[in-house]
């Protein structure tokens, strides 16, 4: 038993696995229902509305529901998403033992101590049948997974099988009212729609449990007589096959294993027993010391079991599902179905080599646990847990192709065995506490003691070396020197994976990965919350590993992330580029495509391969918050800035990397007070006082602005700040500005206005303002004495007045320099942005007319650096320069002596186009077909590119004009851009001209309509498919056009489906029933009223001729609703009148006009609303689920069921998504 999860709680009486999610329900004797995530080991929720023990619980197979039944006689239906009870079903008169949902119908079966079994319709919330016949407590009842049967077990010592076929027929096609029993009689005596088919008698005591086999006509039962009985049934009878004895107390629960030929039972004797179905003998027994077992549950799809006992529950597997495998060079060696097989990665060829013997002992976990291959001698070591740990040595035949019979392998006991040299292997003998070195004849050549007394496993570590595992560490052991070379503290390691060059090793434990070098020096540790399953090194030196539900990566420095999600656990065997090769739990070799862009980018950044990083930024579609956070964390905010579109994030990154120009542009967009303040702080740190001034103006921070003007020596602006403070009635602001200016008269005036006459007198007297002092003295009774040593305070003279301070130089890094050519030109912002970007003026934001006073014109600070009308030297100081004659410009007229300098080559337009767009059409027009195909695959799930090949080639040829060159010189290619005008920059971020236009597609649509009306279905089909293929390569400008393109795609898709149905119908001329079905499906396609009228007329005629008058009448009514022409309407009325006289169908067809449906475009059968379906990610066509994974028959390019982001045909979509 491999325990996966265990809980401690009150006695568990009921269990149920969720069919899809890693959840399990446990109903407790205390009345609580717990919902656990057994993968994470966490309690998700608890439900406690029952009064008393809850004995039965069950998940619905598809809805977010579960049902519970308890000792309060109530059945409760819960919605776990809403986290509440939806309703309660009442009817039982005693304890409810078990409850179960039906697999298909909205039914619940319940068993009760009131000696009845009830079947409920949980949608109508009614009891639809009562099964009576048992004369003691009914301990359990359950539906058959496929047939209309119910099995029940009772303490009356019988097992009963009930036939509920009548109930199903009554539910699907209700019988006449006359045939129904009154409800009262049904409750008392049971309805006739569920009858006893068999009564199985054979147990000597009460039967606690009975269950059907999922596929065979078998029943298993367990009783208080301590016996497990196996029964077989056929159409007429049921009989006992065998009895399984071994339990020493009451058998609580028994069941068939869903995936193996075994029976599992548990008992009040505190044991779980596993029985071989074919031999009918006990295989294994698992015991608990103090807890009796009460319930068993099996996962419907996975190899998981759960058992409830007195103090909780356990979730477990009976045996390991990981296949034994080993990878060498380009070949995988693995064991499946008792065969050693090879899988060639390059040719994908699977070849059986030799047969492996079946383990001699019975029981689980006896299969191969590990495999090690010796390429020098072409032999393998197979280790298993059989006989307490053993190994087998097989020599592979040299031809390597025959299915040779099981060889006489060389066997031995030992917990681990690995090759350590060309003809030597090491075996760990734990019983003797020694490591044995043996040759290929299985003879011991050397013995040595392990480096640690608690060594319990050994792993390969290169020639002559071993990795020895003990409880809490790994030891690198040299066999020759018999000494430990290195030691590393780790959790309990399960698997060891070496890189191709043996320079790095990954040590895998249950929840952690330890990366070390060949000398066992620790590099990093990655912790996972769920189980680590496997791993392999890729060509870049990145470790790719899998957990239960993810493929992840780990860089040597410890950075890790998710590559993709897994539906089922897999075991990675090899990583080649973008392909991960793996084995699933069934031993099948699979390949999974992954996107390596993220971790290759991070690896290049860690290894400081900046040229590669720059190339990936410009070409690879990197995006996402994780990349931005990673770059910011690693100290590359300037690189993160390249990916960010959100202005606030751009601002924060620009501040972090000191890019004041980008921060200023983002601040303009945000226009937030806190943003301007941060910008001012960073600009002050850099010494850019012009932007500091502008930031203070934006935030109206007058005090800081005044002080800035003081320290920069801008007395003119200080004077204006004085006037602003006066208008704002800010006394302290006025006084500070006057103090900064050294304006004594203004200070005296301010003090006098606010009534501080003594201070005003002292100020005037001290600074020699006699007249003002005398005037103020008239208001004073006592004159204060003047200060003897007073001096006038004047602001310091600044060293520089115009330029920014040379305090801090922010140097551009590698990436800023590389991006500078691509970034926006912030020096060329228009209008207000010119002044704002330079930090000049913009005083209109200061709200100068606060008190309604006029005078704003007098307070204009002007635009610093702006030339006056009469001042030639003002502002920019553009005076003439006296240049020496040797650098004077040459005469333009005579260029004979001029030296021609070859200009630097620019970026080709195709490269520029491809790097600036995520649209497949643009990339194809630029000639970057690989990027275009990658976009088509991610956005639309396209895997078959052959139909799109001519369109992509035409796109690539379209945006180039050929200019003939001079004689003997090649022609020139000129790139043609979309929406180009005379005002467009010579080298901008344009996009190529696209030859496909939306109006042309609309013309094609009109022609296709006309061909459809004329009955030229083959030509119309080609036109509609051409529209679909063209749309995948189309590029439009506006969101409105995007909506029109999507509508056009829907129309073309629907017509292709419709015309394919009609074309298929003509192939069934000899099968009138199938032809009629397709004619009916044709009428349910979305078409123009004209074409729908024609299809309804054809269907009406077809069904009328078949004498299916009832169905033909429905077509007549639909046809009349379309208001057809007079002649057609008259014919429809006549047919309708004839059909209504005989409203019957002579032939049964697969068509239900009352149930909405779409027609599967692959199998041409209806997919009714509410049923599962699969869709094409490219065109949206619906298919039955069995078509998933195949190519769409409508667009012929998309892979059905594949995940994709959606159609991208406009740059406005990418901006919207950003």
Tens digits of per-residue pLDDT, 1107-1124?
Answer: 888 889 998 988 888 888
Report whether pLDDT(329) > 70: yes
Who's near 343: CB < 8 A, 6+ residues apart? 331, 332, 334, 349, 350, 351, 581, 589
Residue 961 confidence (pLDDT): 79
List phi, psi (to 5°) of 668.
-60, -40
Report whether pLDDT(180) > 60: no
* Burial zone of 332 (CB within 10 Å; 0-12 exposed, 13-18 middle, 19+ buried): buried
Residue 293 confidence (pLDDT): 95
Q: How far apart are CA 245 and CA 226, in angstroms?
A: 7
Q: How far apart are CA 45 and CA 33, in angstroms?
A: 9
- Using alpha carbons only, give the angle 1165, 1166, 1168 rounded to the nearest 5 degrees: 150
Q: How far apart are CA 591 and CA 603, in angstroms?
A: 24
Residue 885 confidence (pLDDT): 45
Average pLDDT of the chain is 82
Residue 707 confidence (pLDDT): 83
C-beta of residue 393 within 8 angstroms of C-beta of residue 379: yes
Tens digits of per-residue pLDDT, 559-592?
Answer: 888 999 988 889 999 999 899 999 998 889 999 9
For residue 731 the two structure tokens come to 């006394």
Tens digits of per-residue pLDDT, 432-480?
Answer: 889 999 999 999 999 999 988 889 999 999 899 999 998 888 999 999 8
Q: How far apart are CA 1125 and CA 1137, in angstroms?
A: 18
Tens digits of per-residue pLDDT, 674-697?
Answer: 888 888 888 888 777 788 888 888
Q: Which residue has the higher pLDDT, 238 or 910?
A: 238
Q: Which residues pair with 129 in a beta bridge?
A: 119
Q: How far apart are CA 751 and CA 763, in angstroms?
A: 9
Q: For 957-961, what is the mean pLDDT?
A: 80
Report whether pLDDT(319) > 70: yes
DSSP β-ladder status, 138-143 and 149-154? antiparallel
Would the pTM of this model clear 0.75, i.e. be above it?
A: no
Q: How confident is the model at residue 252 (pLDDT cuts 50, 70, 90)?
A: very high
Tens digits of per-residue pLDDT, 95-106?
Answer: 999 999 999 999
Q: Which residue has the higher pLDDT, 1132 or 915?
A: 1132
Residue 204 confidence (pLDDT): 93
Report whether pLDDT(898) > 60: no
Residue 803 confidence (pLDDT): 61
Who's near 1202: CB < 8 A, 6+ residues apart? 941, 943, 1177
C-beta of residue 1161 within 8 angstroms of C-beta of residue 1060: yes
Q: Look-up: residue for tokens 């059907």? A: 212
Report whether pLDDT(190) > 60: no
CA atoms within a 13 Å half-sphere pointing along the CA-CB vector of 72: 17
Ramachandran assignment for 941, one of left (phi > 0), alpha (psi -120 to 50 degrees), beta (any other):
left
Instruction: Give one DSSP letter per residue of 491-533, joined into a string.
Output: S-EEEEEE-TTSSEEEEEESSEEEEEETT--EEEEEE-SS-EE
For residue 880 the two structure tokens come to 């003439």
Tens digits of per-residue pLDDT, 27-62?
Answer: 999 999 999 999 888 999 999 999 999 999 999 999
Residue 223 confidence (pLDDT): 96
Tens digits of per-residue pLDDT, 993-1041?
Answer: 888 888 898 999 999 999 998 888 899 999 999 999 999 888 888 888 8
Residue 399 confidence (pLDDT): 65
C-beta of residue 786 within 8 angstroms of C-beta of residue 811: no
Q: How far apart are CA 939 and CA 600, in angstroms?
A: 22
Closest CA to 537 of 771, 728, 327: 327
Q: For 1067-1077, what is the mean pLDDT?
A: 87
* Burial zone of 613 (CB within 10 Å; 0-12 exposed, 13-18 middle, 19+ buried): buried
Q: E strand or H helix at 550, and its extent?
A: strand 550-554
Residue 641 confidence (pLDDT): 65
Report whether pLDDT(530) > 70: yes
Choice among 207-216, 359-368, 494-503, 1105-1114 with the minimum mean pLDDT: 359-368
Residue 861 confidence (pLDDT): 40
CA distances 650 to 664, 666, 823, Å, are 10, 7, 13
């Amino acid at each position: 038993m491999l325990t996966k999860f265990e809980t401690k709680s009150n006695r568990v009486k009921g269990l149920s696995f969720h069919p899809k999610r890693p959840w399990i329900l446990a109903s407790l004797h205390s009345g609580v229902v717990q919902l656990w995530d057994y993968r994470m080991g966490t309690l998700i929720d608890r439900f406690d509305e029952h009064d008393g023990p809850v004995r039965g619980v069950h998940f619905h197979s598809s809805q977010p529901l579960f049902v519970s039944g308890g000792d309060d006689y109530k059945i409760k239906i819960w919605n776990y998403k809403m986290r509440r009870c939806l309703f309660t079903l009442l009817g039982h008169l005693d304890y409810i033992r078990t409850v179960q949902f039906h697999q298909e119908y909205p039914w619940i079966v319940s068993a009760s101590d009131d000696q009845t079994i009830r079947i409920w319709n949980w949608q109508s919330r009614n009891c639809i049948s009562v099964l009576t016949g048992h004369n003691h407590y009914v301990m359990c009842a359950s539906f058959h997974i496929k047939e209309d049967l119910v099995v029940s077990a009772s303490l009356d010592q019988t097992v009963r099988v009930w036939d509920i076929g009548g109930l199903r027929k009554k539910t699907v096609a209700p019988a006449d009212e006359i045939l129904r029993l009154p409800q009262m009689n049904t409750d008392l005596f049971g309805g006739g729609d569920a009858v006893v088919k068999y009564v199985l008698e054979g147990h000597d005591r009460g039967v606690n449990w009975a269950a059907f086999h999922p596929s065979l006509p078998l029943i298993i039962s367990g009783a208080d007589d301590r016996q497990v009985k196996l029964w077989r049934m056929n159409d007429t009878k049921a009989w006992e096959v065998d009895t399984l004895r071994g339990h020493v107390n009451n058998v609580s629960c028994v069941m068939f294993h869903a995936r193996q030929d075994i029976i599992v039972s548990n008992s009040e004797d505190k044991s779980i027993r596993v029985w071989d179905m074919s031999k009918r003998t006990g295989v294994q027994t698992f015991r608990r010391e103090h807890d009796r077992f009460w319930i068993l549950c099996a996962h419907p799809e996975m190899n998981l079991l759960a058992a409830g006992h007195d103090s909780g529950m356990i979730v477990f597997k009976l045996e390991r599902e990981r296949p034994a495998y080993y990878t060498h060079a380009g070949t995988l060696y693995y064991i499946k179905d008792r065969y050693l097989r090879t899988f060639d990665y390059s040719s994908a060829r699977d070849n059986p080599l030799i047969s492996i013997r079946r383990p001699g002992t019975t029981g689980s976990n006896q299969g191969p646990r590990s495999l090690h291959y010796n390429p020098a001698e072409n032999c393998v070591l197979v280790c298993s847990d059989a006989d307490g740990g053993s190994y087998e040595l097989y020599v592979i035949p040299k031809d390597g192709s025959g299915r040779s019979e099981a060889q006489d392998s060389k066997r031995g006991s030992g917990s681990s065995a690995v090759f350590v040299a060309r003809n030597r292997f090491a075996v760990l003998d734990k019983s003797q506490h020694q490591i044995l070195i043996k040759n290929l004849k299985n003879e011991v050549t050397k013995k040595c003691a392990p480096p640690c007394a608690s060594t319990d496993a050994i792993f390969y570590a290169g020639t002559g070396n071993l990795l020895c595992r003990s409880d809490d560490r790994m030891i690198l052991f040299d066999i020759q020197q018999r000494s430990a070379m290195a030691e590393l503290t780790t959790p309990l390691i399960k698997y060891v994976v070496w890189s191709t060059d043996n320079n790095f090793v990954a040590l895998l434990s249950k929840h952690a990965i330890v990366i070390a070098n060949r000398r066992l020096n620790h590099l990093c540790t990655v912790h996972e919350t769920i189980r680590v399953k496997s791993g392999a090194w890729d060509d870049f030196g990145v470790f790719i590993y899998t957990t239960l539900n993810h493929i992840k990566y780990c860089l040597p420095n410890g950075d890790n992330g998710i590559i993709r999600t897994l539906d089922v656990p897999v075991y990675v065997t090899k990583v080649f580029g973008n392909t991960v090769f793996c084995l699933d739990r069934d031993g099948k070799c699979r390949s999974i495509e992954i996107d390596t862009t993220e971790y290759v980018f991070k690896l290049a950044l860690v290894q400081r391969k900046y040229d590669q990083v720059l190339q990936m930024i410009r070409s690879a579609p990197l995006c996402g918050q994780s990349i931005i956070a990673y770059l910011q964390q690693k100290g590359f905010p300037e690189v993160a800035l390249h990916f960010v579109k959100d202005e606030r994030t751009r601002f924060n990154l620009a501040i972090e990397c000191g890019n004041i120009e980008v921060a200023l542009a983002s601040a303009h967009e945000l226009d937030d007070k806190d943003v301007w303040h941060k910008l001012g702080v960073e600009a002050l740190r850099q010494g850019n006082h012009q932007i500091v001034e502008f930031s203070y103006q934006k935030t109206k921070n007058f005090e800081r602005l005044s002080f800035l003007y003081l320290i920069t020596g801008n007395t003119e602006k200080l004077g204006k700040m004085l006037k602003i403070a006066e208008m704002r009635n800010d006394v302290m602001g006025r006084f500070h500005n006057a103090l900064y200016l050294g304006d004594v008269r203004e200070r005296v005036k301010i003090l006098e206005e606010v009534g501080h006459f003594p201070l005003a007198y002292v100020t005037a007297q001290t600074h020699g303002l006699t007249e003002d002092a005398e005037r103020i003295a008239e208001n004073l009774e006592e004159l204060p004495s003047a200060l003897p040593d007073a001096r006038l305070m004047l602001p310091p003279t600044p060293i520089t007045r115009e330029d920014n301070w040379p305090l801090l130089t922010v140097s551009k890094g590698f990436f800023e320099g590389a991006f500078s050519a691509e970034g926006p030109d912030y020096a060329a912002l228009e209008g207000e942005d010119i002044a704002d970007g330079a930090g000049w003026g913009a005083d209109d934001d200061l709200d100068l007319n606060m008190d309604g006073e006029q005078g704003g014109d007098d307070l204009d600070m002007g635009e610093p650096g702006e030339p006056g009308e009469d001042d030639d030297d003002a502002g920019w100081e553009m005076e003439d320069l006296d240049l020496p004659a040797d650098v004077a410009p040459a005469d333009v007229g005579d260029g004979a002596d001029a030296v021609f300098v070859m200009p630097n080559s620019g970026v080709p337009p195709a490269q520029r186009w491809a790097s600036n767009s995520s649209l497949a059409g643009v990339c194809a027009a630029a000639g970057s077909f690989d990027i275009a195909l990658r976009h088509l695959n991610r956005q639309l799930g396209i895997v078959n590119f052959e139909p799109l090949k001519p369109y992509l080639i035409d796109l690539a040829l379209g945006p180039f004009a050929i200019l003939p060159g001079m004689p003997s010189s090649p022609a020139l290619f000129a790139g043609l851009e979309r929406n180009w005008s005379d005002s467009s920059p010579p080298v901008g971020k344009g996009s190529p001209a696209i030859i496909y236009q939306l109006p042309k597609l609309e013309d094609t649509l009109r022609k296709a309509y006309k061909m459809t009306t004329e009955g030229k279905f083959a030509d119309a089909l080609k036109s509609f498919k051409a529209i679909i293929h063209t749309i995948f390569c189309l590029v439009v400008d506006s969101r409105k056009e995007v909506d029109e393109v999507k509508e056009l795609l829907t129309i073309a898709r629907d017509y292709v489906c419709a015309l394919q149905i009609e074309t298929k119908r003509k192939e069934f001329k000899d099968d009138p029933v199938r032809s009629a079905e397709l004619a009916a499906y044709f009428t349910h396609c979305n078409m123009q009223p004209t074409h729908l009228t024609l299809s309804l007329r054809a269907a009406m005629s077809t069904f009328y001729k078949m004498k299916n008058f009832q169905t033909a009448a429905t077509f007549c009514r639909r046809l009349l609703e379309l208001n057809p022409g007079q002649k057609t309407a008259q014919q429809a009325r006549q047919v309708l009148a004839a059909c209504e006289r005989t409203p019957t169908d002579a032939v049964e067809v697969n068509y239900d006009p009352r149930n909405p449906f779409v027609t599967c475009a692959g199998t041409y059968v209806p997919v009714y609303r509410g049923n599962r379906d699969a869709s094409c990610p490219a065109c949206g066509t619906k298919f039955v689920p069995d078509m998933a994974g195949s190519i769409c028959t409508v667009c012929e390019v998309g892979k059905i069921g594949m995940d994709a982001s959606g159609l991208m045909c406009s740059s406005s979509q990418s901006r919207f998504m950003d």
